[in-house]
Amino acid sequence: MNNISQKRTTRRTLLRGLTLAAAGTCLPAAVAHAATPAAAATAPTETYTLTLTHLGRTGAPTTAYTTYVVGVSGAAAAVKEKISESPDATVTLQVPKGRYLLHSSINVYDPRIETDWIVQPRLDVDGDTTVVFDARTAEPVDISPPEAGTAYRLGGTYVQVSHEGGTAFASIVNSTPYLRTAHQGPAAEPGSVQQWFDAYWKGEKRGYALGYTFTSDRVLTGIVRQPKVSELGTLTVRTVAPETGGGYGFLDLVPAGDTAVALPHPFQVPGDTTFMITPDRGAWELLYSAPTATEEATPNRYHVSGVRVRAGATTLVTFDTPVFGPALDPTPGARPAGLRTGNTLGLDLALLADGEGHRPSAPLFEGASTTLHRNGLLVGTRRGTPGRAEFTVPSARGDYRLSTTAARPGGRVTAAWTFTSAATAAPAELPLSVVRFTPELRPDGTAAPYTTSLVPVTVQGAASVSGVRCLAVSVSTDAGTTWTRVPMVGGRASVRTPGAGGTVSFRAELTDAVGNTLTQTQIGAYRVTAG
């Protein structure tokens, strides 16, 4: 089995109760062992005998299985047992009374590896009980793309069962398309069984990410889904080479909100990579790792949530493209970029977010510093990570000027704010604003010479709430030596590019409705090239 899925997984990948459809992939330590001594010590003294028998596709007993007994509710909730590599087709366990989820993968190794996954979402134990897992009950899982000659990459099937406040989970990840599934036992309560399927394929020019979700009282016995091209949406991820040069980047594509296996996809940078996706799988998360100059260097990673596609339409996501500059996190409940906590004033700002506002984990920079003044006097300077600093200040109200700057290859980003602040009983957000410039550039992140365009200008942060009293935008074509204030038309700045080989720089001067100010400059915001 190809282990590439295990090398690069997301935080929600393979969380609990993972069953594997083929050998060669390691189980998480929490799953690879039977119930812990602590769980056994708290189990009720009264238990019942659970007998499990396994039959292969011929109906004969088989020992080629891996079986899980997972408690859902009641005294059973603490139980998680794994049975594998047993010399017997029939095994017995002592388990407490309660509701259980059972699942067993029965493998066929000749002439190819195939797996029959049998799931019983409801087993109520209140006495000695026998369960038979019969591979003959399983039906094929066939989720395949509308393109001949595609190669299967990876797939996952997942079941989550709820009962009386308890939840149990089962999953199987298969590196071959030869999977069959079966429901076993009585139906559970309506809506208590959630199931989802994911299958990744690689075509000649694009990949396929096909997924379906179901909510019912039972597990599906087999599934066939062969979507048409018109039923799929297109996701194109475009990247520009960082200043350190091109190479191979990695894109992890994973459904949002569910336990799921990520597909790690290497591709040439700069360049595009494209997937066709089932829209009804919901939102997706993208994790992009840019190429590095050396193997020892820390890769710069971007994490984007909530990406959706529509049938027949193309969704474009770009990474590492200009204009690099400050961006605030729009996620509800996200940590503010500036925070006053007692006598501590802190800044935690993505100063070098890319053109779409994606916040980098390891931005490319050549030096960074943040300086704080109070009532005109220097409080201190912090050097290191762009846009991050912390200062201790007096509790009394004061007038502050906070500035942060970072140099990057070919340019520099600076933001300076003025505001008043005093200690409060609870943490208080600082009234910081930033300005985003989002010109329409060519795929390589450059603009054509001697062209005039209207560049969208967006205000984020405090001024977007209190209101903007005034906003002036200036442009420089000589790396900030001289500036020209440009007209604004409907929230767009009129910008004319210089000749080939030149650059465009931006400066924004903003005052919000209550008098807080921002001065922001982005030297070398983007390059101008011929062609």
User: Which residue has 């070398």 as its token pair?
Assistant: 524
How far apart CA 346 and CA 325 sit, in angstroms, is 19
User: Which residue has 């139980």 as its token pair?
Assistant: 79
Say if residue 69's pLDDT is above 80: yes
CB crowding 358-375: b at 16 or more within 10 Å, else e: bbbeebbbeebbbbbbbe
Check whether residue 14 and residue 163 sit in a common domain.
yes
Here the tokens at position 116 are 């029959």
Check whether residue 266 and residue 341 sit in a common domain.
no
User: Which residue has 């039972």 as its token pair?
Assistant: 218
pLDDT averaged over the chain? 90
Query: Structurally, how many domains does the chain consist of?
Result: 3
Check whether residue 167 and residue 303 sit in a common domain.
no
Mean pLDDT of 33-59: 71
CATH code of the domain covering residue 275 = 2.60.40.2190
Check whether residue 423 and residue 464 sit in a common domain.
yes
Residue 45: pLDDT band by 50, 70, 90 thresholds? low
Residues 409-458: tens digit of each pLDDT: 889 999 999 999 999 989 999 999 999 999 999 999 999 999 999 999 99
Residues 130-182: tens digit of each pLDDT: 999 999 999 999 999 999 999 999 999 999 999 999 999 999 999 999 999 99
User: Which residue has 């300086």 as its token pair?
Assistant: 371
Mean pLDDT of 333-360: 94
Mean pLDDT of 85-90: 94
How far apart CA 334 and CA 357 sit, in angstroms, is 15
Instruction: Please name which of 308, 370, 291, 384 lies closest in space to residue 338, comparing C-alpha atoms.
Output: 370
Cis peptide bond upstream of 323, omega within 30:
yes
Indicate the residue among 302, 319, 336 that finishes a domain: 319
Check whether residue 273 and residue 236 sit in a common domain.
yes
Check whether residue 385 and residue 401 sit in a common domain.
yes
Say if residue 25's pLDDT is above 60: no
Tell me the percentage of the chain whose pLDDT exceeds 70: 92
Residues 180-237: tens digit of each pLDDT: 999 999 999 999 999 999 999 999 999 999 999 999 999 999 999 999 999 999 999 9
Say if residue 259's pLDDT is above 80: yes
Check whether residue 175 and residue 237 sit in a common domain.
no
Residue type, 59: G
How far apart CA 393 and CA 374 sit, in angstroms, is 8
How far apart CA 209 and CA 199 sit, in angstroms, is 6
> Which distant-in-sequence residues (6+ apart) come within 8 Å of 30 by Cβ?
16
Are the CB atoms for 114 and 194 separated by under 8 Å?
Answer: no
Q: What is the pLDDT of residue 32?
A: 32
Here the tokens at position 26 are 């390691």
- The single-letter DSSP state of residue 205 is S
User: Which residue has 């020019």 as its token pair?
Assistant: 205
> Which distant-in-sequence residues (6+ apart) come within 8 Å of 314 by Cβ?
233, 234, 235, 236
Name the residue range of residue 102's domain: 4-225
DSSP 245-297: --EEEEEEEEETTS----EEEEEEESEEEEEEE-GGG--EEEEEE---SSTTS
Mean pLDDT of 333-351: 94
Inter-residue long-range contacts of 10-16, CB under 8 Å, 24+ positions, other chains counted: 10/252, 10/254, 10/260, 10/262, 10/285, 10/287, 12/254, 12/258, 12/259, 12/260, 13/254, 13/259, 13/260, 13/261, 13/262, 14/171, 14/173, 14/259, 14/261, 15/169, 15/259, 16/169, 16/259
Say if residue 20's pLDDT is above 60: no
Say if residue 26's pLDDT is above 80: no
Indicate the residue among 194, 225, 256 that finishes a domain: 225
Say if residue 12's pLDDT is above 70: no
Residues 284-297: tens digit of each pLDDT: 999 999 998 787 88
CA of 301: how far to CAs of 116, 119, 425, in Å? 38, 38, 36
Instruction: Please name which of 239, 246, 242, 319 lies closest in space to residue 271, comparing C-alpha atoms.
Output: 239
Indicate the residue among 268, 295, 319 that finishes a domain: 319
Say if residue 114's pLDDT is above 70: yes
Check whether residue 333 and residue 314 sit in a common domain.
no
Check whether residue 344 and residue 312 sit in a common domain.
no
Check whether residue 26 and residue 92 sit in a common domain.
yes
Check whether residue 11 and residue 68 sit in a common domain.
yes
Instruction: Please name which of 196, 250, 203, 253 lies closest in space to residue 229, comparing C-alpha atoms.
Output: 203
Check whether residue 468 and residue 383 sit in a common domain.
yes
Tell me the percentage of the chain whose pLDDT exceeds 90: 81
Residue 459: pLDDT band by 50, 70, 90 thresholds? very high
Say if residue 91's pLDDT is above 80: yes
Instruction: Please name which of 195, 38, 185, 63 lies closest in space to residue 125, comparing C-alpha atoms.
Output: 185
pTM of the model: 0.83
Q: Tell me the pairing of strands 411-421 and 517-528.
A: antiparallel
Here the tokens at position 195 are 């199931």
Residues 387-413: tens digit of each pLDDT: 999 999 999 999 999 999 999 988 999
Say if residue 19's pLDDT is above 60: no
